[in-house]
Amino acid sequence: MPTRIFVTRHIPSPGIELLRSMPNIIVDVFTGSGIIPRKELLTRIVGADILLSILTDTIDADVMDAAGPSLKMIANYGVGFDNIDGAEAKKRGIIVTNAPTPESNAAVAEHTIALMFAVAKRIVETDCFLRGGNYTGWGPELLLGADICGKTLGIIGSGAIGSDVARRMKHGFDMRIVYTDLKPNPTFEAEVGAEFMSRDSVLQESDIVSLHVPLLPSTTHLIDATALAMMKPNAILINTARGAIVDTVALVDALENRIIAGAGLDVFEGEPNLARTPVLADRLRNLKNVILTPHTGSATFSARTAMSRQVVKNIEEFLAGEVPVNAVML
């Protein structure tokens, strides 16, 4: 009997093409625009052996029930996998994989650094100022920004992306690197001279704080009002990890009241909305000292292509009876 794979959204080449070239495989792809409607997901997944999902799909017990006992693998197209109920998958013996690649790690690291400079140099604000016809001539105090070279960068989470960001900023811009994680990372320390500290010390010491932890119960609202109050008044917060790591209410309050200088956000609580309530989203949207990008950290051709190949490789390994290298839940 052929293996049926349901794909919740078209992914960049060559993923779908590779799946369809595999023997004894039936590939069913949702071809509608945008996120698959919940009702259609519950209908289309019935009888699937493998689900290829993306981070905007909530894969919970209801989805697994709809699929039935045939579902043995959830291959997530993305680095994160917080959209999947891992406990439920484990209980049912469903293997879950993600798709990190060197290319996607590099893309997110570059995007993180771009946000640092954009916030520090007030790039969006100055662009809007100029386009609005407000520029009447050079002035010694016009739209002053912040320096980055030689300042202190705080990394919260020293995994592949956090390490990449630190490496580039240390060797490219001579930043002092401080970090926190579940435990010290000797390799990371040797590469960039990073200093291991508590979360509170990282917040207190850093001119820029960059978040690179997965979304877990222990990291939800890791950056709250208390944490933000520890940061320097001239500090910048960057989040390219997951929106709920930051308490949005507390962050908006901190930005409005200049408790910190600015923020660069690529991820949000309640995506695709900027926040969980329209009022809070409007407050965030209207701030000049925050730069917002629509979860495009890994949005480069090379990164998304590599992720496409990786998610298929995970499926190939599973079908060959192997444990995929990127298995995150067994």
pLDDT (tens digit, 0 to 9) for every residue of the chain, 330 residues total? Answer: 899 999 999 999 999 999 999 999 999 999 988 899 999 999 999 999 999 999 999 999 999 999 999 999 999 999 889 999 999 999 999 999 999 999 999 999 999 999 999 999 999 999 999 999 999 999 999 999 999 999 999 999 999 999 999 999 999 999 999 999 999 999 999 999 999 999 999 999 999 999 999 999 999 999 999 999 999 999 999 999 999 999 999 999 999 999 999 999 999 998 999 999 999 999 999 999 999 999 999 999 999 999 999 999 999 999 999 999 999 966
| Per-residue DSSP letter, 273 | S
Catalytic residue among 191, 195, 271, 317: 271
d(CA 2, CA 316): 14
Q: What is the pLDDT of residue 330?
A: 62
pLDDT for 80 equals 86
CATH topology of domain 103-292: Rossmann fold (3.40.50)
pTM of the model: 0.92
Tell me, yes or no, if 258 is annotated catalytic. no
Catalytic residue of the set 242, 269, 283, 304: 242
Q: What's the pLDDT at 167? A: 97
Q: Given this chain, do its domains 3-98+302-329 and 103-292 carry the same CATH topology?
A: yes
* Cα–Cα distance for residue pair 32/156, rounded to 1 Å: 38
Active site annotation includes 40 = no
Among the listed residues 167, 199, 276, 295, the single catalytic one is 295
Sign of torsion over alpha carbons 35, 326, 302, 309: negative
pLDDT of residue 250: 98
Structural domain boundaries of the chain? 3-98+302-329, 103-292
* CATH code for the part of the protein at 3-98+302-329: 3.40.50.720
Do 53 and 76 touch, CB atoms closer than 8 A?
Answer: yes
Terminal alpha carbon distance of the chain = 24
145, 120 contact by CB (below 8 A): yes
Other beta carbons within 10 Å of 108:
27
Residue 184 to residue 80: CA distance in whole angstroms: 23
Q: How far is CA 177 from CA 94, 161, 264, in A?
A: 40, 14, 19
Pairing state of beta strands 236-239 and 262-265? Answer: parallel
Active-site residue, 309 included: no
Question: What is the distance between the alpha carbons of residues 295 and 241, in angstroms, rounded to a whole number?
Answer: 9
CB 256 within 8 A of CB 263: no
Token pair, residue 41, equals 């997901």
- Cα separation, 63 vs 66, in Å, equals 5
Query: C-alpha angle 261/262/268, rounded to 5°?
Result: 145
